[in-house]
Structure 1
Amino acid sequence: MSSDNNKGSRNLGRLILQLRRLERHPHTFGKAGSLTPSEIHTIEAIGYEGGVLMSELAARLAVTKGAVTQLIVRLEAKDLVTRSPHPHDSRATIISLTDIGKEAFKAHEEVHIQFYDQLRSQLNEQEIEIFEKCIETLNDILRK
């Protein structure tokens, strides 16, 4: 293995460690206050528009329905989401964001935009294209 391959592998390892570190620490998102990464990513998966079925939310997050239920209980206690019965299926529950939940969603989106703007300020267009392709490929590999 060449030293370039070792360097790339080491950098990828460092990136994964940094991401894990970020995933352990709560962040503040507007009036919603301090949210754990799993809480804000649940809000992100619910989405700003409309509601989502509890089962669909579990699929989006790739977790069990039980894990989603625990997250929803925490988010309800923080007044970030509401549960309502499905209008045509009495067994199904629809999860929606409250106004404060929508604010947290927007604040989280803004964090992503600011990060990406910072990245764009340090890379040229060709480097951005390569970066985006690399991220897409990495996501594809990790999904397998």
Structure 2
Amino acid sequence: MGEQQVAAAQLATSLRDAITRLNRRVRRARPVGDLTVTQLSALTSLELAGAMTPRELADIERVQPPTMTRIVAKLEERGLVQRTPHPTDGRQVILSATESGRAVIAGFERVRDEWLATRLAALSPAERDTLRQAAEILQQVARG
């Protein structure tokens, strides 16, 4: 392995660790509420990916269908998710986030953005500029 490959591998490990830690910390910044992380994740998936069957949602969330059934039931009780008949398969339903569900997601995003903005404001202008450049580069890496 060449010197550049070793440096790239070390950078990859360092970046992955930093991104994971930051993501965990941002996810912990949440408004007071009784939604679990799993419920919020399922609701967010419905909002981002659009309407889908419970099985598709279970696959995206990497949980077993019975687990997703319980998650969806809790979200439905709160009026955050709605079921509609499947257009071609009468045995299935389509799940989607309600207006209230979208408002909950927006509230979580707002709290997370505020937490991160507060942390970023404490950095120097040069550090914020570096992070701005890093964000652009990470977007490029993510696009492949």
Tell me the TM-score normalised to structure 2 length: 0.62
Counterpart residue identity of residue 102, structure 1: R
Alignment of 1:1-144 (within 5 A): 12=17, 19=24, 27-28=30-31, 33-47=33-47, 50-121=50-121, 122=123, 123-130=127-134
CA distance in 2, matches of 1:83, 1:104: 18
Please tell me whether the aligned partners of residues 30 and 108 of structure 2 are also in contact (alpha carbons under 8 angstroms): no
What stretches of structure 2 of length at least 5 have no aligned partner? 1-9
Higher strand share: 1
What stretches of structure 1 of length at least 5 have no aligned partner? 140-144
Which structure has the bigger radius of gyration? 2
Tell me the TM-score normalised to structure 1 length: 0.62
Q: Deviations over 1:9-31 (max 9, x none)?
A: 8xx59x75x94x997x89546xx
CA distance in 2, matches of 1:93, 1:133: 41
Aligned residues: 127
Q: Does 110-119 or 94-103 show the bigger shift?
A: 110-119
CA RMSD of aligned residues (A): 3.8
Q: Does 123-132 or 43-52 show the bigger shift?
A: 123-132
Please tell me whether the aligned partners of residues 31 and 108 of structure 2 are also in contact (alpha carbons under 8 angstroms): no
Please tell me whether the aligned partners of residues 81 and 98 of structure 2 are also in contact (alpha carbons under 8 angstroms): yes
CA distance in 2, matches of 1:131, 1:50: 26
Q: Does 75-84 or 49-58 show the bigger shift?
A: 49-58
How has the CA–CA distance of structure 1 residues 115 and 28 changed in structure 2, closer, same or farther, with 3 Å as cutoff? closer
Q: Percent identity?
A: 23
